[in-house]
Amino acid sequence: MDDNHYPISQELFKDISTVLAKELAKAFSQVDWSQVAPPIVFPQVDFGGLDQHLRAKIILLAKGGWYPDNKMSLGLIRNTAKNIENGDYQDADSKMIAFFKDGYQSIKSRILADLSDRSYVLASAFHAHELGEYTLSVPVFLIQADGVCFDVADVQLYSKRNNRPRVADIINGRATGLFTAALLSSLATGIPLTANPDERNDPNYPRGALNRHQVVHGESTDYGTIANSFKTISLLNYVCKLREVLSRSNAA
């Protein structure tokens, strides 16, 4: 597991460690020790499908317009994803808004420090968010997330090729760790944020979802909500994590 490439929080690490401990105990319990002779071969242990489980939950988060922070616990990710899967978008928004409100100052400070060349623009967007001027903050955060992605990956965040996000090839090619790839999986998947007109007309498309094209091109005028502003902050924060992963990959 090369997930030192993605800084996992204590909460998430504890959850992962619990699964690994159970898998380890299970593996050792199946060893016939009467037949074991030196050297003892360490039993093969998998992740109990945790990386795939995490990937599925993170893709569900993105369906609701949210992107994980590395300090989120698996419990919060699971519960929010379950809300979205059941169509309880309001409950999902409430959970995520509470999380990002609580961590707002540290997330803001980290983004401004990491993206110092964009800090003037981003500081204005954060100020608009703090004033409740969400019609101003949302488009700026969406645009700047695109710019950050282009800087580090040389592809636009919202662009597609053959109906597949172009950034997917970058992530799949360079985020090799199980959990790194899982944590970044929503950017490599078709999501409402990047949905085209045909996808937005699909009966399964979540009504009222935040869509970058509709906001930036003026098709939507009702996007100025606290939930959408925090969603775009979560996206920008998430793209900063992508930037960190790819920067380390470039240096390797």
Question: What is the model's pTM?
Answer: 0.78
Of the segments 43-52, 62-71, 120-129, which one has the largest average pLDDT value? Answer: 120-129
CB neighbour list of residue 72: distance below 8 Å, 6 or more residues apart: 9, 11, 12, 99
CA distance 72 to 88: 20
Per the structure, the complete domain to which residue 102 belongs is given by 3-251
CA distance 62 to 83: 12
Total domains present in the chain: 1
Give me the percent of the chain exceeding a pLDDT of 90: 42
- Per-residue pLDDT, averaged over 15-27, amounts to 53
* pLDDT tens-digit map of 106-158: 999 999 999 999 999 999 999 999 999 999 999 999 999 999 888 877 777 77
Please give the distance of CA 168 from its chain centroid, rounded to a whole number.
Answer: 13
